[in-house]
Each structure stands twice: as C-alpha cells, then as structure tokens.
Amino acid sequence: MQKFTTLTGVAAPLDMINVDTDMIIPKQFLKTIKRTGLGANLFDELRFNADGSEKPDFVLNKPAYRQAALLIAGENFGCGSSREHAPWALLDFGLLCIIAPSFADIFYNNCFKNGILPIRLAKEEVAEIMAEAKGGANATFTVDLEKQEIARPSGETTAFDIDPFRKHCLINGLDDIGQTMEKSEKIRLFEEKRKVTMPWLHI
C-alpha cells in the first residue's frame, strides 16, 4: 500500500449528504477484482449521461477539479453496501483524502485499508472548507498526517483527530498484509518451534 504522509492538491466540493457506495461505484462495475480501472466509472451516474457523454455540471467534470486529490463531502459519506470497490474507485481516480462530517463505518475502515485518509470534522468546519474548495483550481489544500493538520487556501489551519494505530499504518503504508509481514520474524520463530514441539503437524 502506498504511504500517506503529506498531500497537497485541489479539493473538489461534493456538496451532498448520504452519498452511498452505489453512487460512488454502481453495481454493474463490481464484476472485477482488480483495484485498477475503476476510476473511469467513479460516480458514473452523476458524471455521465446515458449515451456516455459527460454531465458538465458535475464537479469532477469541471476543468478546475479534474485533477482533484481531495474530496469534500456532506454527512454520512460512503453509506449503503460494504463494497470495497468504492475506495478502490476513489483511489484509482486520484482522490487520496475525503473530508466529511461523518462516514459509514465500513467505508471508513475500508479507506484506511486502501491508503485513503478519511477525515471527520465538525459540520461547521466542513462548511468552511467546502466554501474554500469552491474557489476552483487555486483552492489548494495541504494535509499533513504527521501533524494532523489541514492547511487551507485562506491561510488558516484546521486540526483533525485520527486513531494512532491507523495513523501509523497510513504513514508506513501498511495494509493487513503489511501488518502481518512486520511480524514475519516472530512468525518464522513460532513455526520453527512448532516443528520441534508438534512434528506431526508437519508430516
């Protein structure tokens, strides 16, 4: 998993509440088990018309936000089904940080497992950041995970909370497999000891 330390980029304002995982990546795109390629269909029904043409009013289709690295959203982001394809699609598009007042629990956990930083802030703080994000291409934010701060275009800084263990995993690029591999030496010693004490398990 890619490490997350500091992120600087444009923030796209998605001023909607209850954005569910089917809106993030519709069910017809869940046939793949690959983590790549899903960004093309991120927010498919919001981004595209039935004929495949873009909807010009959708935020990610606007020139200022096509290369956005952060997404600012409303309450209960990522609700609905537990599909892990939702963070895969966001990551593949290039959105590495989501800021919202609240997230669905399973989506929130899946973000950390895929290298995306979900930040929960008070509604008032999100509203301020949303307003700044609507400034367009010049609205560049910097998220410093080590300091747990968001540097805003206005010059103000907003602090955020994060679980220390999840912070450690993001900074070091550790998904579930990476966490296991950190203990590879202990695992090796355990297996060698078991071969001696329980040889019948290794016949």
pLDDT attached to residue 175: 75
Measured CA angle at 136 (ends 133, 138), to 5 deg? 95
My answer on whether 157 and 179 are in the same domain is no
Cα(57)–Cα(199) distance, integer angstroms = 67
pLDDT in tens, 23-74: 999 999 988 877 889 999 999 999 999 999 999 999 999 999 999 999 999 9
My answer on whether 94 and 188 are in the same domain is no
Cα(31)–Cα(132) distance, integer angstroms = 37
pLDDT attached to residue 127: 97
My answer on whether 111 and 200 are in the same domain is no
The pTM assigned to this predicted structure is 0.88
My answer on whether 35 and 121 are in the same domain is yes
The CA distances from residue 199 to 22, 192, 193, 194, 195, in Å, are 50, 10, 10, 7, 5
CATH number at residue 116: 3.20.19.10
Domain range enclosing 191: 175-203
pLDDT attached to residue 137: 74
pLDDT attached to residue 18: 97
Q: Which residue numbers in the chain have pLDDT < 70?
A: 176-184, 187
Please give the single-letter amino acid code of residue 159: A
pLDDT attached to residue 183: 65
> Considering only CA atoms, which of 196, 200, 7 is closest in space to residue 96?
7
pLDDT attached to residue 180: 61
Residue 83 lies in a domain: yes
Q: How many domains does the structure of the chain reveal?
A: 2
My answer on whether 139 and 184 are in the same domain is no
SS3 assignment, position 73: strand
pLDDT attached to residue 184: 65
Measured CA angle at 106 (ends 147, 3), to 5 deg? 35
My answer on whether 18 and 40 are in the same domain is yes
My answer on whether 133 and 187 are in the same domain is no
Residue 81 lies in a domain: yes
Burial (CB count <10 Å: 0-12, 13-18, 19+), residue 91:
buried
Looking up tokens 């600087």, which residue turns up? Answer: 8
